[in-house]
Chain A
Amino acid sequence: MTLALKTEGLACAFPVGKRLIGPPRALLHAVHSTDLRVHTGETLGIVGESGCGKSTLARMLVGLQPPTGGRIEIEGAALDRADPAAFGRRIQYVFQDPVSSLNPRKTIRQILEVPLRHLHGMGRAARAARIDEIFAAVNLRPEFLDRYPHEFSGGQAQRIGIARALAAAARILILDEPVSALDVSVQAQVLNLLADLKAEFGLTYIFISHDLAVVEAVSDRIAVLYFGAVVEEGPATRVFATPRHPYTRLLADSAPQVGRPLGGEGAGELPDPLDPPPGCAFAGRCARATERCTTQTPRLRALEEDHLAACHHPL
């Protein structure tokens, strides 16, 4: 299998307390040095709670957020940020809030024409034909093309957002919480559509969500993000079934589930990102933590062939 996307040491830090001249007061490390590998045709799920850096990571991958360190390779070639259109043709993004990602003053046709014209330089007739094709692919009726975004429900608007990403003809899609703004009955429709499109066009997905069950249902592999770093990575069938990192176990046990008693033992919150603790960021909430955990940062290492965890005392 070839690599669709690869990151090496990808990191992002935001300056906090900017001063007019001189360095900022502090740096907030949203994403620590991250190595990811995504194979062509694969779906990599990324789960994590709010503030874990998953959206920053996604925005870096599509060039909306300049990384402060590391590099991104797409289909074997390093991405340079000089040409924004080059990003657009290779990798696209589907936004969390479908309605606010569509310009309220443009018709759907105008929205879909932009990538065709500016990324691919298509003529008018070619554009119209391609838009009809894409619209059929996302199961929307062609008469919707001349309406405005506010006339659509969340699920329909998200299909339009997906159609726009398809119009760019990128083979890699970053899906940032694509269904979390939708109702459950509509969520299933959109997830099934994504699966169909993947099979039809041979797409590669990076699927970001906070909903463990959704990620598990769509992914081949899953990476668990905590406090800006990957703490566990492995096949979707095993990450939540047999977690190796205590944080993944906590996540899996916390998900509300029919036929399971209430969890919620063990309090604890995220550490302060401006004053990160030394060692493992999860040590303060972890029952297995030892002195080593509070001094030495664990590295992500392979526990089995394809199952990695960043823990000194894996489960």
Chain B
Amino acid sequence: MTLFLRLLFRNRLAGFGAVVLGAIVVLAVLTPVLPLHPPNATDTANRFLRPLSEGHWLGTDHLGRDLLSRLLWGTRLSLAVGFAAAVIAAVLGAAIGIVAGYAGGRTDNVTMRGVDMLMAFPYILLALAIVAVLGPGLMNALIAVAVVNIPFFARNIRGVTVSLAHREFVDAARLSGLGHIRILTTEVLPNVVPVIVIAMSTTIGWMILETAGLSFLGLGSQPPQADLGSMLGEARGALITAPHTSVVPGVMILLIVMSINLLGDGVRDALDPRLRSGALARPMPATLVDRPAPPPPTGDGLLRIEGLRTDFRMGKRTGRAVGGVDLALAPGECVGLIGESGSGKSVTALSVMGLVPSPPGVISGGAVRLRGEDLVGAPYARLRALRGNKVAYIFQDPLSTLHPLYTIGEQLAEAIRVHHPVSRADAHARAVQLLDDVRIPNAARRAGAFPHELSGGMRQRVGIAMALANDPDIIIADEPTTALDVTVQAQVLRLLDDLRRSRGLAIVFITHDFGVVAQLCDRVAVMYAGRIVEEGPTEAILAAPAHPYTARLIACVPELGGGRRRLEAIPGLPPAVDALPPGCAFAPRCDRARDACRAGEIALEGATRRVRCLFPVAPPEAAR
């Protein structure tokens, strides 16, 4: 709750709205005890007194009634009616939406088409029709406004409920013996309430306006009762001669609706989890760089990552996602980067081309040198020229990286034309050739297919074709086969292996699977808590891991053919990136750890095999 208020008032306009609305509400509540003239007492001798007249601060209207008193009583009524209408519309609309969304099928169809029909009428026409049937009066205007707004709530809430009704926790509740009504009230409703509040906060101002509109037309509050709409309506005749009688209620309506809308937007921003996390903020085209100075080059080669540090800066907290990674890649070489989730392997790979989203990502140190050229801090135009051209990426889920509305042929052709000035026809021919290269059967016809028409394995081949489009030197593959079935995974791995040999590609292959690394990679680097803990030739490391983490990670993965057995689990959990222990990050889970491990930085040492450990399992040099 305090978090909610803090977020709300961080938005200045929402804070302003809250203050104005608060003042109006306090005045409206206190109206009966304030020393005011009676609102309906006429005094025709003093008609149309100007504001600041004696005894009448805001003047009087066409019957000589005190405007200030009528304004406050009218505001009180308008607020109450608008709020009541919003609550009725929200309750009924949410009830319809939840039932329709949860029941699904025919119930959903019939109910929602009925709601759609209600929506098809212009709202004012519908409200007029309802008042015409029920007769004029404030209560009937309230009913009309509420009914008119039910579809808005029903549709909103139904959409949210549909997505909730298929969530696993609803299934779990069913298995725990809950009936439909209990599931709706105890499982679904608590998750829907924030949406109802958000919808209410943004519509209540609108409902006050609608009620005022009906009263203005003489269909709402009946004389002599004052509400803001009827005050405007009665003042219409004297608009030119006594403008203040219209201006006073008009300004009040403006203040109320404006303050409610500002506050409503603030409430929505503060409650909506997506907005709160900042996920909707547009990331910058390249990762922010904030490093003291680039380190001196340590050698040459195709790609050298040198002392790379990438942080996630979220408010006061700083998460060290990558804490000083050194990795070199030679032409035609395949290096595996292995680690668990949160170990920084993906962030390392994305940092190479400045693809870590900023905010919150910041490259805070080190260098990434492509043939000697430092890419960290390179101008965006230079990065763009290299992205997809010299260094290409393959991601885990090709369905989310391919555009759903373009055919795969068009997307491939576009990728080619971004970097090469070729004609459309040439680009298309090249696209078909690429699809053929990644062994998509009937490539010419498949080029016209949309991504959703392909199976997962086929889509990942398209992803690979996309990466190959501009003959890159390096492909960075981020868990490209994790989402695929084993038989398809084997096909895709073989394809990658064949391509790298026939084209001399260098590959950085990110995975969590030692089996995949063993089959594909020449060298492997094991990452833990943002650092490489061990690196060297794949076979040597798999045969005799030196770092205790590597050894235990290999041991805890069951191997096919091992039969039924107990697994060698690693106790505990990896550390959080914003609370890393000093010294070795693995020490709290390690059975070989001694006091020295927790004392200070431990270097990655060795020549062909490097290990970051004071007490390695097998001395790396001896294991060679």
Contacts from A to B (Cβ < 8 Å): 49-50, 59, 62-64, 84-85, 87-89, 92-93, 95-97, 100-106, 114-115, 118-119, 153, 155, 161, 164, 168, 183-189, 191-192, 195, 210, 212-214, 216-220, 236-237, 240-241, 250-265, 267, 269-270
Contact = CB atoms under 8 A, between A and B. Distances in A.
A104 B172 CA distance: 13
Interface in B144-172: 167-169, 171-172
A164 B564 contact: no
A224 B147 CA distance: 56
Contacts of A255: 486, 515, 560
B382 interface: no
Contacts of A106: 190
Contact of A88 (B177, B542, B558): B177
17 contacts: A49-B488, A50-B456, A95-B168, A101-B168, A103-B187, A103-B190, A105-B190, A168-B177, A184-B553, A210-B486, A236-B564, A254-B486, A254-B487, A256-B516, A258-B515, A262-B494, A269-B458
Q: Find the residue from A88, A257, A270 having the highest chain B CB count within 10 A.
A: A257
Contact of A155 (B174, B559, B573): B573
The SS class assigned to the B binding surface is: helix
B437 interface: no
B173 A210 contact: no
B340 A216 contact: no
A195 B168 contact: no
Interface residues of B, number: 66
A36 B520 CA distance: 39
Contacts of A49: 485-488
A217 B519 contact: no
B510 to A, nearest CB: 14
Nearest to B106: A20
Contacts of B341: 183
A255 B405 CA distance: 34
Contact of B567 (A85, A101, A191, A253): A191
A188 to B, nearest CB: 4
Contact of B560 (A119, A155, A183, A257): A257
Interface string B541-582: 010000000001110111111111111111101100000000
A192 B567 CA distance: 7
Contacts of A88: 175-177
A214 B457 contact: no
Nearest to A102: B169
Contacts of B495: 264
B178 interface: yes
Interface in B489-504: 489-495, 497
Nearest to B457: A269
Nearest to A117: B177
B569 A192 contact: yes
B564 A220 contact: yes
Contact of B491 (A115, A218, A264): A264
B191 interface: yes
B399 to A, nearest CB: 13
Contacts of A118: 176-178, 182
B289 interface: no
A290 to B, nearest CB: 22
A217 B558 CA distance: 7
A106 B573 CA distance: 24
Nearest to B538: A258
